[in-house]
Amino acid sequence: MNLTTRPPRSPRTRLGGYVILPRMLDKGRAQLAGTNGEYHYNCPLDQHFITFTGVDPEALLVELKAGKGDGEILEWVTANAKSKHTELEIKAWSAWQESRVPSSVENREYMHEAQKKIAPKRDDISGWFDLLDVDDYVSFGGKA
């Protein structure tokens, strides 16, 4: 995984019903390879997944270092999550994450400033996932 040549998967991409997880795995693999570029494993976005599942991010990194694929990692997450959730709870949490918007004045200002730099003419960016997707696209040569 070389995140200096392409972005990680969208935060919307799901694994086992979880949003954020595939992106987090991409960043963890890239960190281990020294090719994470501007991306950070266990960042504030990743922390939403960590908090929801109770998975230890350092233990997850050890599993990634062992070369496990996404399916094996999902099995490990299911077995090692401190917070056990039903399929319906995971779907609801993922849907909520997808629709999350800045909830404080400071976060709204941050998002507004970031959007002004990345995609000033776009009026369809309202949530964090929207901003991340367009930022990834523009960062690797796309036009907003």
The structural domains of the chain, with segments of one domain joined by +, span: 1-99, 101-144
Mean pLDDT to the nearest integer, 106-115? 95
pLDDT range class, residue 14, cuts 50, 70, 90: very high
Q: Is residue 144 over pLDDT 90?
A: no
DSSP string, 33-97: HT--TT--TT-HHHHHHHHHH---HHHHHHHHHTT--HHHHHHHHHHH-SS---HHHHHHHHHHH
Mean pLDDT to the nearest integer, 62-76? 98
Q: Is residue 44 over pLDDT 90?
A: yes
Question: Are the CB atoms for 96 and 20 separated by under 8 Å?
Answer: no
Mean pLDDT to the nearest integer, 75-96? 96
* pLDDT of 1: 85
Query: Percent of the chain beyond pLDDT 90?
Result: 99
